[in-house]
Amino acid sequence: MDFELTEEQKEFRKNFRAFCEKEIVPRASRVDAEAAFSFENQRCLGEIGFFGLPFPEKYGGIQKPILTCTIAWEELARACPSTFLSCGLSSLFSGMAIHLFGSEEQKQTYLRKLISGEKIGAFALSEPHCGSDMAALKTEARKEGEGRGYILNGTKAFVTNGPIADFVILFAITNPAAAPDRRMSAFIVEKGTPGFSAGPAMEKLGARGSPTSQLTLKECTIAEDHLLGAEGEGSRYATKVKELGRLGYAAYSLGVGQACLEESIRYAQERQAFGRPIAHFQEISFKVADMQMFVDTGRLLTYRAGWMIDRGVEASVDISIAKLFTSEAATWCAANAVQIHGGYGFLKGYKVERLYRDAKLGEIGEGTSEMQRRTIARSLLGEGF
């Protein structure tokens, strides 16, 4: 087994971290405090080719292995979790849906502009009454006869980038009578389409610089060429993109955990109590040691999953293991980073206070910890356990 990154990957991490330190880190606190998406971050990331990392050159991408992409996602999340949630997990993964399942024309129209950073994407599956239970969707897409397009009605909930997205990959029921995994189709819905509207950004605990909203569809008519791939394939497409999304969430939590570790080391060496740096107390130094153990293990699991995808090995359960572990580890690291900071950790403006709020999302987004445990258990015990 080879645990070494290639020289190219090491160099890539070094350069991307330097970029994040210069461009993203300085804005992270304000992005959170003002709950405002940074279009400046979006612009810079577009300029350095971040959005093109997993995509072919044909569409303006620079196609790197998923493991290399994972390193970039981790670094961006370390710098600013909100920016990674909006620019990475939501925008980039809506591009992934088009890359994997879209027509050539859709790739030229949407993927190319997403890669250049000109357009922002979103991915709308969850609804107000269901997030974990994909089979309970109610949003409908009715076909009004050949060549007359689809009419969409329904509400989508918790859509990352909802208020700012130029287009949304949106899932709706096209055949309610079909088997559960054949009922749903995926569509590309553009901002400004009559009958389509985004609600205001919701107030959130964490990841506040990533706007989240409801989307409403009222007799919203879209042309047939806005269907993504084939009718009835939505469930399969969503499962595939969400699988990569779960890897993205593992990277999110890894970045948050790493940031907590670094803040804790710095503060433990600086802060004095009883005439010495608090790092001298075993109660503090062991928390830092445990943090390193959690982050390191999470990194091994996350990179293993990325490495498996690059080799074409089935990785669904391994991705769930990586997501489950890193997200719960990040919550633990954040809670202990606050503890190490004492009263200051509880104050606005201290980085660990923000990380504590950002960490929790890792256990909820793109499949809760409970759903990850179900996936892992099912792989061990079979369907009917």
Ligand X SMILES: Cc1cc2nc3c(=O)[nH]c(=O)nc-3n(C[C@H](O)[C@H](O)[C@H](O)COP(=O)(O)OP(=O)(O)OC[C@H]3O[C@@H](n4cnc5c(N)ncnc54)[C@H](O)[C@@H]3O)c2cc1C
Residues assigned a catalytic role: 366
119: tokens are 């357009």
Under rule CB under 6 A, how many of the chain's residues touch ligand X?
24
Tell me the closest approach of the beta carbon of residue 129 to ligand X, in angstroms.
8
How far apart CA 116 and CA 52 sit, in angstroms, is 7
267: tokens are 């503060």
User: Closest CB to ligand X belongs to which residue?
Assistant: 131
Tell me the closest approach of the beta carbon of residue 114 to ligand X, in angstroms.
15
Task: Give the DSSP per-residue string, 313-338.
Answer: ---HHHHHHHHHHHHHHHHHHHHHHH
Task: For residue 131, state whether it binds ligand X (rule: CB under 6 A).
Answer: yes
Task: For residue 326, state whether it binds ligand X (rule: CB under 6 A).
Answer: no
In the block, tokens 């809760």 appear at 368
Let me know: does 355 contact 335? Beta carbons within 8 Å: no
Tell me the closest approach of the beta carbon of residue 366 to ligand X, in angstroms.
6
35: tokens are 């709950």
Nearer to ligand X, 136 or 289 (CB): 136
Tell me the closest approach of the beta carbon of residue 158 to ligand X, in angstroms.
4
Let me know: does 152 contact 143? Beta carbons within 8 Å: no
User: Which x/- pattern, by CB under 6 A, does the window 162-201 give for ligand X?
Assistant: ----------------------------------------
Which position among 197, 297, 368, 375 is part of the footprint of ligand X (CB under 6 A)?
Answer: 368
Sequence-ordered list of residues with C-beta below 8 angstroms from that of 254, at least 6 positions apart, any chain: 74, 77, 78, 295, 298, 299, 302, 326, 330
Which position among 68, 160, 264, 320 is part of the footprint of ligand X (CB under 6 A)?
Answer: 160
CA 145 to chain centre: 37
Please give the sequence-ordered ranges of beta strands (E in DSSP) within the chain, or none if there are none: 121-124, 140-143, 150-160, 167-173, 184-190, 196-198, 212-222, 227-228, 272-273, 276-277
Range in contact with ligand X (rule: CB under 6 A) among 156-164, 181-189, 213-221, 375-383: 156-164
Task: For residue 366, state whether it binds ligand X (rule: CB under 6 A).
Answer: yes
Single-letter residue type at 146? E
Q: What is the DSSP letter of 143?
A: E
Sequence-ordered list of residues with C-beta below 8 angstroms from that of 75, at least 6 positions apart, any chain: 13, 16, 17, 20, 255
Tell me the closest approach of the beta carbon of residue 57 to ligand X, in angstroms.
28
Which position among 130, 151, 265, 376 is part of the footprint of ligand X (CB under 6 A)?
Answer: 130
Which position among 12, 158, 237, 249 is part of the footprint of ligand X (CB under 6 A)?
Answer: 158
Task: For residue 90, state whether it binds ligand X (rule: CB under 6 A).
Answer: yes
Nearer to ligand X, 175 or 368 (CB): 368
Which position among 260, 301, 361, 372 is part of the footprint of ligand X (CB under 6 A)?
Answer: 361
Nearer to ligand X, 86 or 264 (CB): 86
Nearer to ligand X, 264 or 326 (CB): 326
Q: Which residues bind ligand X (CB under 6 A)?
A: 90, 123-126, 130-133, 158-160, 204, 207, 212, 361, 364-368, 370-371, 374
